[in-house]
A and B are shown apart, each in its own frame.
Chain A
Amino acid sequence: MKQTYGTWTVKLTVLAIWAALLFAPFLFQDVRSIQVAARICIFIVLVGSYDLLIGYTGIVSFAHTMFFGFGAYGAAILLRQMGPGWTPILLGAGAGAALSLVVAAGIGLLSLRVKAIFFAMITLAAASVALVLASQLSHLTGGEDGITYSAPDLFKPATKLWTDADGRVAQLWGVRMNGKIAAYYFVFCGAALLFWAMLRLVASPFGTVLKAIRENEARAEAIGYRVVAYRTFVFCISAVIASLAGTIYAVWLKYTGPETVLSFDIMIDILLMVVIGGMGTMLGPVIGAVLLVVAQYYLRDLMGAAAEAVSALPLLPDLLNPDRWLLWLGILFILLVYFFPRGIAGTAMQKGTRS
């Protein structure tokens, strides 16, 4: 894509977002904001890895939360069995990634040669089975209740990273240097590393082939690229990245359950984020994830106030109920697909192109 001023605006915005995330603990000093910032980091990676499929290759999968869940449950189960430490995290990440790789390769080889629509249905069925298994195998996964466990000692709030002369936790710009900060930077660094890896991937010759397949599958095949092999490969990579993001999220939350990592709601969040942000560019997911997570945390309060205001009218309070916020997002989503199929990033990048 040509470097237009729109492109620069988007790139600067994304840089500003990453900078804000880097300094988040210092900029927003309450518990909820840190929670929001960590969730944004995780979702940037998750949505970015999904964009590798939908935006760069034109594959529609509904099984992305399944891979996210593999990574999260891998770490969660081992942290529960072996107690807090780094070994269970690494082993869990490895096991989750390996399982994701095998399942993704299986699904890919079995069904990526069929039509896009068929593939979407098959992944949807696979994801539902994963959800059912997670709630049925309760001795392993804790069933509907999920698993609670502790993170490594480094991330405990009582841990002192720096101490001042009196032996108390030192403060930097008014922020206490305890385990909470360490946990946040673990999430931030993990997310940044995975995001950087994806940026490298799409800029590489491999990324170019993916785009060629998306634009014209028959032609890519005719030039000599084995389309099914490439698709399966990108599906596997995307699955592994989602799985690693799941592991990081599990370590941050210290709880893993079907609702937090496997539910269909998360898949819908991912879809909304990728479409709102813009498909086919790694910058879109960053914008989409920030907007949606912030909306999730703060818009609901606003809707609650609105529902209070119209409580005398029929049906309207029900529609404005904070629990119904997905309704409005759904409508927004449909309108976006109609009028701005390229999302915020894609539309902004077109600004300033001379055609």
Chain B
Amino acid sequence: MTATLERFGGVNLLPLVVAALAFGLIGAPSSWVTLTVAGLAMGMMVFLMASGLSLVFGLMDVLNFGHSAFVSFGAFVAASVLASLGGWLGSPSVLLNIAALVLAFSAALAFGLAAGLFFEKVIIKPVYRDHLRQILITMGALIVAEELILAIWGGTPITVPRPAFLEGAWIIGDISIEIYRAFAFVLGGIVFAGLYWGLNRTRLGLLIRAGVENREMVEALGFRVDRLFVGVFMLGSALAALGGAMWAGYQTLITPALGGEMMIVVFIVVIIGGLGSIEGTLLGALMVGLVANYVGFLAPKLALASNMILMIAILMWRPSGLRPAVK
């Protein structure tokens, strides 16, 4: 029985099972499709935010509580760039629209890379191999980062303009699919494919995976795992900033509390997925996205606790997450 299940994908089938179950409970196919698309889009954005955290933990045994600061900074940087390019966004030319979007995302990515480098060198480096101080110091960094956001952008909510070509929805029969959600799903899929390819098909990916498996051994072979780590850390924070930028466009109204809210979701995703594995993170993110949307529709009262219930259920079943890479 177990072996048969494993052959068909094992735990990877979980999102399908959840979706099928929800189909039975919801009944109406059109709302089911809408919810599923929303869940998948949310899952992909959360995946962007969580993948870096999971990789960094797997590779260096460093848990960055300040990770959500990259998410909120990404969101605010992108929102500011989009707001200043309002003319481009409103114009009917799709090309100008795309240019504005690309500029906003590049700004978020560039910020993530630079902030990641700074964070690694200044905050994390002095406290390697000391979990307690790591947790404390990244918490301190998170406090400082959140206060900086408040000081720069103020405490009032900011409206995020969307490019015109991503507004609206496709209507197929009585099913409507928001274009931005489809876009988020596609972008997340591309990033996952890129990460998966990079980790599994390139020499650099091989080294990263080997570093996750046994750091000392890779170092003994003469590779500079610490330099590799700086790169992974920068990539992780850039992805988090991109996720934040996507999220800003999804929500269209962002507040400085965004980082705190997403931090919990990101942590739950990483815990569910199992630390250190990119596939596990994707699986966890899709599960969280789908369950949050289905439960929000079926039992709105439970919606806010649904992530937590999902996490407890999965930890009871598999104490180290669905697909852990760290033993």
Residues of chain A in range 290-343 having any CB-CB distance to chain B below 8 Å: 315, 318-319, 321, 323-324, 326-327, 329-331, 333-334, 337-338, 341
Minimum CB–CB distance for A22 against chain B, Å: 32
Contact status A114-B151, CB under 8 Å: no
Contact of A117 among B63, B263, B315 (CB under 8 A): B63
Contact of B148 among A115, A124, A327 (CB under 8 A): A327
Collect the chain A residues with CB atoms within 8 Å of residue B267's CB.
Answer: 121, 124-125
Contact status A329-B136, CB under 8 Å: no
Collect the chain A residues with CB atoms within 8 Å of residue B132's CB.
Answer: 54, 58, 60, 116
Shortest Cβ distance from A132 into B: residue: B304
Minimum CB–CB distance for A317 against chain B, Å: 10
Contact status B305-A330, CB under 8 Å: no
Contact status A318-B151, CB under 8 Å: yes
Contact status B319-A114, CB under 8 Å: yes
In the bound assembly, the distance between CA atoms of A3 and B268 in angstroms comes to 46
Contact with A along B59-80 (1 / 0, CB 8 A): 0000101000000000000000
In the bound assembly, the distance between CA atoms of A85 and B144 in angstroms comes to 43
Contact status B271-A128, CB under 8 Å: no
Contact with A along B216-249 (1 / 0, CB 8 A): 0000000000000000000000000000000000
A60-B132, A338-B126 given; 4 more Cβ-contact pairs under 8 Å: A129-B308, A268-B143, A318-B151, A324-B147
Shortest Cβ distance from A54 into B: residue: B132
Contact status A125-B147, CB under 8 Å: no
In the bound assembly, the distance between CA atoms of A110 and B311 in angstroms comes to 12
Given contacts A334-B140, A334-B144, A337-B140, contact A120 B151 (CB under 8 A): no
In the bound assembly, the distance between CA atoms of A114 and B320 in angstroms comes to 8
Collect the chain A residues with CB atoms within 8 Å of residue B319's CB.
Answer: 113-114
In the bound assembly, the distance between CA atoms of A133 and B148 in angstroms comes to 29
Residues of chain B in range 114-130 having any CB-CB distance to chain A below 8 Å: 123, 126-127
In the bound assembly, the distance between CA atoms of A115 and B57 in angstroms comes to 12
In the bound assembly, the distance between CA atoms of A54 and B271 in angstroms comes to 22
Report the interface size class on chain B.
35 or more
In the bound assembly, the distance between CA atoms of A128 and B261 in angstroms comes to 9
Contact with A along B118-161 (1 / 0, CB 8 A): 00000100110001111111011101100110111000000000
Interface presence of A126 (CB below 8 A): yes
Minimum CB–CB distance for A277 against chain B, Å: 13
Interface presence of B264 (CB below 8 A): yes
Collect the chain B residues with CB atoms within 8 Å of residue A330's CB.
Answer: 140-141, 143-144, 147
> Which of A122, A125, A264, A271 lies at the interface centre, i.e. has the most chain B CB atoms within 10 A of its CB?
A125
In the bound assembly, the distance between CA atoms of A152 and B268 in angstroms comes to 43
Collect the chain A residues with CB atoms within 8 Å of residue B137's CB.
Answer: 334, 337-338
> Which of B132, B133, B267 lies at the interface centre, i.e. has the most chain A CB atoms within 10 A of its CB?
B132
Contact status B151-A110, CB under 8 Å: no
Collect the chain B residues with CB atoms within 8 Å of residue A118's CB.
Answer: 271, 275
Contact status A128-B141, CB under 8 Å: no
Minimum CB–CB distance for A219 against chain B, Å: 18
Interface presence of A111 (CB below 8 A): yes
Shortest Cβ distance from B122 into A: residue: A334
Shortest Cβ distance from B61 into A: residue: A117
B residues near A (Cβ < 8 Å) are 57, 63, 65, 123, 126-127, 131-137, 139-141, 143-144, 147-148, 150-152, 260, 263-264, 267-268, 270-271, 275, 301, 304-305, 307-308, 311-312, 315-316, 319-320
Can you list 17 pairs linking A and B with CB atoms under 8 Å apart?
A114-B319, A117-B131, A118-B271, A118-B275, A120-B135, A122-B315, A125-B264, A271-B139, A319-B151, A321-B151, A324-B147, A327-B143, A327-B144, A330-B140, A334-B123, A334-B137, A334-B140
Contact status A315-B305, CB under 8 Å: no
Minimum CB–CB distance for B312 against chain A, Å: 8
Collect the chain B residues with CB atoms within 8 Å of residue A334's CB.
Answer: 123, 137, 140-141, 144
Contact status B260-A264, CB under 8 Å: yes
Collect the chain A residues with CB atoms within 8 Å of residue B151's CB.
Answer: 315, 318-319, 321, 324, 327
Interface presence of A81 (CB below 8 A): no
Residues of chain A in range 118-145 having any CB-CB distance to chain B below 8 Å: 118, 120-122, 124-126, 128-129, 132-133, 136
Minimum CB–CB distance for A274 against chain B, Å: 9
Q: Taking chain B's interface residues, is the majority helix, strand, or loop, or is none over half, making it mixed?
A: helix
Contact of A333 among B63, B126, B140, B305 (CB under 8 A): B140
Contact status A324-B150, CB under 8 Å: yes
Contact of A337 among B131, B136, B144, B305 (CB under 8 A): B136
Collect the chain B residues with CB atoms within 8 Å of residue A126's CB.
Answer: 308
In the bound assembly, the distance between CA atoms of A124 and B263 in angstroms comes to 9
Interface presence of A275 (CB below 8 A): yes
In the bound assembly, the distance between CA atoms of A271 and B137 in angstroms comes to 11
In the bound assembly, the distance between CA atoms of A324 and B126 in angstroms comes to 26
Shortest Cβ distance from A332 into B: residue: B140
Given contacts A111-B315, A125-B264, contact A323 B136 (CB under 8 A): no
Collect the chain B residues with CB atoms within 8 Å of residue A321's CB.
Answer: 151
Contact of B135 among A60, A327, A331 (CB under 8 A): A60
Collect the chain A residues with CB atoms within 8 Å of residue B268's CB.
Answer: 125
In the bound assembly, the distance between CA atoms of A51 and B144 in angstroms comes to 23
Contact status B143-A326, CB under 8 Å: yes
In the bound assembly, the distance between CA atoms of A133 and B267 in angstroms comes to 19
Contact status A329-B315, CB under 8 Å: no
In the bound assembly, the distance between CA atoms of A21 and B225 in angstroms comes to 53
In the bound assembly, the distance between CA atoms of A48 and B302 in angstroms comes to 35
In the bound assembly, the distance between CA atoms of A58 and B131 in angstroms comes to 10
Collect the chain B residues with CB atoms within 8 Å of residue A60's CB.
Answer: 131-132, 135-136
In the bound assembly, the distance between CA atoms of A315 and B151 in angstroms comes to 8
Shortest Cβ distance from B137 into A: residue: A337
In the bound assembly, the distance between CA atoms of A169 and B163 in angstroms comes to 71
Minimum CB–CB distance for A55 against chain B, Å: 10
In the bound assembly, the distance between CA atoms of A338 and B260 in angstroms comes to 25
Collect the chain B residues with CB atoms within 8 Å of residue A128's CB.
Answer: 264, 308
Collect the chain A residues with CB atoms within 8 Å of residue B136's CB.
Answer: 60, 271, 275, 333, 337
In the bound assembly, the distance between CA atoms of A116 and B133 in angstroms comes to 11
In the bound assembly, the distance between CA atoms of A111 and B141 in angstroms comes to 26
Minimum CB–CB distance for B259 against chain A, Å: 11
